[in-house]
Structure 1
Amino acid sequence: MAGTHGKREMIAEGPAVILVHPQLGENIGMVARAMANFGLAELRLVNPRDGWPSEKARSAASKADHVIDGAKLYTSTEEAIADLNFVYATTARDRDGFKPVRGPATASATLRTRFAAGEKTGILFGREKSGLTNEEVALADEIVTFPVNPAFASLNIAQAVLLMSYEWMKSGMEGDEALPFQAVEQQPATKADLQGLFDHVEEALDARGYFRPADKKPKLIENLRTVFTRPSFTASEISVLRGVISSLDRFTRDNPRGAGSPNRAKKPNLRPRGPDGHIKE
């Protein structure tokens, strides 16, 4: 299912996110926001402690209203998953039992395959403080857990949803590097472009007496060439740099005493000027 958000397509599909006994409305809202970021839309709530609907949840959702408005309320976990074909239970703790344990990438790939086959799927997330009970985990088909610091394994519920939502979206991308936009392709600068830039810089510096003392000029030029040939410039970057140099060069010619920035307040110079407007020497 997909809709529109402004002029962009709103992705809204995939497994249901089921929050079991969530506590704070703010956490539910942050879950909704994480879901919307990565194309999930179906939110199911099992006995939220502070009731539903929640203005705190809506505020924290940061305009993920389609998720908040579509949220469904259930009185038990069994009821919340009754119509689903396949369910994952999230946990950061080792559980006794015989259920397969998957990482988020593998779990998301499985969910994507089942979704494509027309199955209804879901992911169970537990309470903020204690997670899912063993009885609730037992209702799922498989367990998904996250590679976290063993000494600090507890995740905020919104963080856990964000991780799974991100992996869900990645599982539907053409590749790991598929992104919503790319940098504009640039034409690499030619050696002639680079030489033109260097000649421009050398001419401007020479006119301002940069190469002093004169016997040091060859070494200074060599150093400058090294600086300007190190990066891989594009033709556009060369153009920008030459524009900057031209602007500085014009300003220096018009202000031969080095008055500073043209935006800087200056005292009026009362020295006589010639017909061309330049100060007479």
Structure 2
Amino acid sequence: MPSDQPQPALVLVRPQMGENIGAAARAMWNFGLDRMRIVAPRDGWPNPAAVAMSSGAGRLLDEARLSDKLADAVGDCSYVYATTARGRGLTKPVLSPERAMADAAARIAAGEKVAVLFGPERAGLENEDVARANAIISVPVNPEFASLNLAQCVLLVSYEWMRAAGEVVHEADVPAKGDWASAIEIEKLATHYEDRLGEAGFFYPPEKAEGMKINLRNLWSRMRLTRADVQMLHGVMRQMVRWKERDGS
């Protein structure tokens, strides 16, 4: 069964190649979408080539809603977007994938059912298909090479849906090993270095010592250190002191 997560239905209109249907299912599932609808696939349904290409997303193909006509595929939807790279001369809002999925998220949150149409590989949606949509999604591509593979277009829209749904982490600062060092651990490290550097006569001349210590503390605060980093730096200083004592000078 499709998930209970609110999401748009992605409608493949007259897709031609099973491989592209499978790749589209894979792209959808990469971003948590699992409501696929298929209108009049050229090579019939089910399609073994689609299953082979889906690479683990075969459930979407098994649960896909099959229709002979586009009107039936979107009959339960209150708002429909049509993806196209060409100007159609139709008076409709034209949105980027980002803006369209933000709009879709707001509509779905308000209780609407939303669908996104994707045309066949050869030439995309017909004007008659686009006329059934409430808005157009236009991908900003190179005007000299505007043709997008079906699965590529599905992937773009699916990714923008995930962004609009607030599920994309735009920046992560995760330690590769262990936990981040706590403030008290950084404080002890700073004190260790100040004490040993003071004994070595590093803070010279005396009137500049306070400023040098502040600069050193500032250095520690700018570095995101893990507990393992702190332990290693303590060990470096201890070893340097032992080496100096063994050297006897």
Normalising by the smaller structure, the TM-score range is: 0.7 to 0.9
Paired letter, 1:99? K
The superposition leaves residues 137-196 of structure 1 with CA deviations (integer Å, 9 ceiling, x where unpaired) of 11111101112222222211111111111111221217x6468x8625443663752686
Alpha-carbon shift at residue 93 of structure 1 (Å):
1.0
Q: Aligned equivalents of 2:131 and 2:97: distance in 1?
A: 19
Unaligned runs of 5+ in 2: 197-215, 240-249
CA separation of 1:137 and 1:2: change in aligned 2, threshold 3 A: closer
**Matching of residues 50-89 of structure 1 within 5 Å:** 50-89=43-82
Unaligned runs of 5+ in 1: 4-10, 201-225, 250-281
Per the alignment, residue 225 of structure 2 pairs with 234
Instruction: Determine which structure has greater relative contact order: mean sequence separation of CA pairs < 8 Å that are 6+ residues apart, divided by chain length.
Output: 2
Q: Which of the numbers 116, 121, 125 marks the counterpart of 2:109?
A: 116
The superposition leaves residues 73-106 of structure 1 with CA deviations (integer Å, 9 ceiling, x where unpaired) of 1112222222221100000111112111111122
Alpha-carbon shift at residue 20 of structure 1 (Å):
0.9
The sequence identity of aligned pairs, in percent, is 42
CA separation of 1:29 and 1:191: change in aligned 2, threshold 3 A: same
Q: Aligned equivalents of 1:232 and 1:140: distance in 2?
A: 53
**Matching of residues 1-281 of structure 1 within 5 Å:** 12-173=5-166, 177=169, 183=174, 185-187=180-182, 190=186, 193=189, 232-239=223-230, 241=232
Q: Aligned equivalents of 1:65 and 1:121: distance in 2?
A: 23
**TM-score, length of structure 1 as denominator length:** 0.65
Per the alignment, residue 263 of structure 1 pairs with none
Paired letter, 2:227? S
Which structure features the higher share of helix residues?
A: 2
RMSD, aligned CA: 3.7
Paired letter, 1:145? S
**TM-score, length of structure 2 as denominator length:** 0.72
Instruction: Count residues with an aligned counterpart.
Output: 222
Q: Aligned equivalents of 1:47 and 1:2: distance in 2?
A: 21
Per the alignment, residue 273 of structure 1 pairs with none
State whether residues 6 and 108 of structure 2, in contact with CA within 8 Å, keep that contact through their aligned partners in structure 1.
no
CA separation of 1:2 and 1:133: change in aligned 2, threshold 3 A: closer
State whether residues 32 and 61 of structure 1, in contact with CA within 8 Å, keep that contact through their aligned partners in structure 2.
yes
